[in-house]
Amino acid sequence: MKNSLVAIFAWIAVAVLGSAALGGIALNRGESINALWFITAALCVYAIAYRFYATWIATKVLLIDPTRATPAERLDNGRDYVPTNRWIVFGHHFAAIAGPGPLVGPTLAAQFGYLPGTLWILFGAVLGGCVQDMVTLFYSTRRNGRSLGQMARDELGAIGGIAALITTLFIMIILIAVLGLVVVNAMKHSPWATSTVAATIPIAMLVGLYMRTIRPGRVLEGSLLGVILLLLAVAGGGWIEHQPGLRELFDYPGLPLAWMVIAYGFAAAILPVWLLLAPRDYLSTYMKLGTVILLMLAIVWMQPSVKMPALTQFVDGTGPIFGGKLFPFVFITIACGAISGFHALISSGTTPKLLSNERDIRMIGFGGMALESFVAVMAIIAATVLDPGVFFAINSPAGVVGKEAADAVATISSWGFPVTVEQMNLLAQQMGEATLFARTGGAPSLAVGMASIFGSAFGQGMLAMWYHFAIMFEAIFILTTLDAGTRVGRFMLQDMLGNIWKPLGRTSWYPSVLLSSGIIVAAWGYFLYIGVIDPNGGVNILWPLFGISNQILAAIALCVATGILVKSDKLKYTWITALPLAWLIIVTSSAVWEKITSTDVRIGFLAAANDLATKLASGVLSPENAAIAPHLIFNQRLDAVLSLFFICMLWLIVFDMLRVCVRYLNGKPVPPLSEVPHQLTNMVKV
């Protein structure tokens, strides 16, 4: 009794503190605000949502049953089905879901001010993303770890399954292209960044060889060696930067770098996994965890001030980084960190095969996503502690603010965010870069933000080192996602091609490997190429497309979950997935509508294509712009078709789900629930 009273008061205190922090963030106007308030608000929101909402979903809606044997217990084969400690599963699950997305999206969305992004990250996560991950994990666990596509086919029908498969393949291609673009923009004309990123490739191979031949399977030894070499590579890059004759070898404009990334992607897809992909994944996981923890400690210790206003004038759709109004574009720009459909692919598949008890689903599904959302909050802090003028100078593409430094600072200052050429030059010099203007993509501004937080916490003398450490840290796991994504895309494509001609489906047949890898790399390579030659920075086009496809995948996962809830006679609880689903349908449909019909050339694909076509015909373009204009026009039209295709897929599966639900409620036959029958666990202490 006494304990429960204490608990009640403790939770009331958390609620009051959380509301105060949120209120402070939301109502603050005109002066800078301490970043600690963001951390406090976030932790309180997650704690309350986890303790009450997630517990309620687990006990009242899903009816999680600790006495039920999990697939890992029933099918334990010591290989893919293995009962595992929940902290270990949590670690694997988090490492799998947390990629560069939650770092890049919030940085770009900071152009609207700190408030919209922060609120969407917090509430999108606890009401949408966490629920999606947890519910998908639960349903997949009850179905022996079946994948999202298989569940869609079993529960809704063939249409759902095909839609899930095709959307996954497309989102993978767009994702890889946009991440490749982020890396290219970070390495552009930066010998330090380029040489460091280049060095990660031989380092990963060395670690791969070490773990394969010298000391087979000694993962920790190999990783330690790799991490030390990576840190040396960051320092070595600084040395190269100052060596005339050597620095030119690593000084490239965007286009050659894009070709190198494309060539690299192809090589990585056909090399054996032990040589490059697996060792680099170990390194990127340690770097990611280490940097995120370091960033959190530095923010708590330094308590930097957030200088960006709560809202900027760009909520009206005139933003320099990407065009479009606050609604729906903030919800599209921040996908990972709030709700990401990709997570449904991880939550169905690998993770459910490791659970030793259903009880762990709340912590791994809901808790894992809450932690990822927290990473996104830290990214938004790192972006908004910069002077807004500096933030916009780094992120605005040359096509918007002008090519010359003087033009750019004049434009940005005229928006009310004062910045000077001297200030930018000094900053670039401190960071060891030639220039920081027009480094669109989020990685450089995040690196500057992280460097200034780390620098103030651990000493200003090492700013350039911290900056390039942050660039290396982002690049290394972007490249891991690029390799892994190309490989998975290849497997999916081979699976599909195998239906046409059997040998093409054999994952070990070399011609088929080459062909399918080539197709996947060509597909993302095309978007990367266009993104690099586009004077408006490419991110403006690619990131919204990625956000839309990722949210549509989330909507598909929520459709499957809603269908299962209805078929399990839980109609009155379907809102837990139906509400976020409805929101995603509204957001993605209106975003696609705007991307297709808007007459603003910075928003509408077709408007931009027509505008450029008119300019090309009337001969007002400069020769170099006229040369690339046909490519850009074709690409804008292709993007319009692609987004239309995505939204058709979504509506198709939504109607399919509604059809199944209505039939079920009218007592007509529907595909039966594919849940595996209850089997009592043998676990003694339940």
Partner 1 sequence: MSKNLTKKSANDSLPSVSDSSLPVFKTTLDINQRIAQSATLNINKTCVEPLPLWSYIWRVIRELSGDDAYERYIAQHAISYPDITPLARKDFFLYQQQQKWSGIQRCC
List interacting residues with partner 1 (CB under 8 A): 69, 73, 75-80, 83-85, 87-88, 91-92, 96-101, 175, 179, 211-213, 216-220, 223, 270-275, 277-278, 281-282, 335-336, 340, 342-343, 345-346, 349-350, 356, 480-481, 484-485, 487-488, 491, 507-508, 510, 513, 546, 550, 681-685
Structure token pair of residue 634? 């074709």
**Long-range pairs of 31-35 with CB within 8 A, sequence gap ≥ 24:** 32/305, 32/306, 32/307, 33/305, 33/306, 34/303, 34/304, 34/305, 34/306, 35/299, 35/303, 35/304, 35/305, 35/306, 35/381, 35/385
Q: Which residues contact 318 (CB under 8 A, 6 or more apart)?
A: none
Count, in order, helices (H) and strands (E) of the chain: 29, 2
> Least distance (Å) from partner 1 to the CB of residue 683?
5
Quote the longest CA-to-CA distance of the chain: 82
> Least distance (Å) from partner 1 to the CB of residue 653?
19
Distance (Å, whole) CA 309 – CA 58: 39
> Least distance (Å) from partner 1 to the CB of residue 431?
26
Work out the angle between the directed axes of helices 443-458 and 463-500 (0-180°, nearest 10).
Answer: 140
**Cβ closest to partner 1, residue 115 vs residue 287:** 287
Buried/exposed code over 83-114 (b: 16+ C-beta within 10 A; e: otherwise): bbebeebbbbbbbbbbbbbbbbbbbbbbbbbb
> Least distance (Å) from partner 1 to the CB of residue 273?
4
∠ CA 54-58-59, rounded to 5°: 120
**Cβ closest to partner 1, residue 299 vs residue 479:** 479
**Cβ closest to partner 1, residue 24 vs residue 91:** 91
Structure token pair of residue 39? 């951390």
> Least distance (Å) from partner 1 to the CB of residue 290?
13
> Least distance (Å) from partner 1 to the CB of residue 115?
24
**Cβ closest to partner 1, residue 160 vs residue 341:** 341
**Long-range pairs of 227-234 with CB within 8 A, sequence gap ≥ 24:** 227/283, 227/286, 227/287, 229/199, 229/203, 230/199, 230/200, 230/203, 230/283, 230/287, 230/472, 230/476, 231/469, 233/195, 233/196, 233/199, 233/200, 233/203, 233/472, 234/196, 234/465, 234/468, 234/469, 234/472
**Cβ closest to partner 1, residue 125 vs residue 408:** 125
> Least distance (Å) from partner 1 to the CB of residue 141?
15
**Cβ closest to partner 1, residue 191 vs residue 489:** 489
Element (H, E) at 306: strand 305-306
Residues of the chain by 3-state class (helix, strand, coil), percent to 5: 75, 0, 25
**Cβ closest to partner 1, residue 336 vs residue 436:** 336
Instruction: Give the number of other Cβ atoms within 10 Å of residue 294's Cβ.
Output: 17
> Least distance (Å) from partner 1 to the CB of residue 649?
19
**Cβ closest to partner 1, residue 39 vs residue 584:** 584
Instruction: Give the number of other Cβ atoms within 10 Å of residue 527's Cβ.
Output: 25
**Cβ closest to partner 1, residue 41 vs residue 89:** 89
* CA-based nearest residue to 480, from 195, 288, 226: 288
**Cβ closest to partner 1, residue 86 vs residue 439:** 86
> Least distance (Å) from partner 1 to the CB of residue 506?
9
**Cβ closest to partner 1, residue 72 vs residue 198:** 72
> Least distance (Å) from partner 1 to the CB of residue 93?
10
> Least distance (Å) from partner 1 to the CB of residue 11?
25
Distance (Å, whole) CA 22 – CA 10: 18
**Cβ closest to partner 1, residue 39 vs residue 207:** 207
Q: Which residues contact 248 (CB under 8 A, 6 or more apart)?
A: 191
> Least distance (Å) from partner 1 to the CB of residue 521?
15
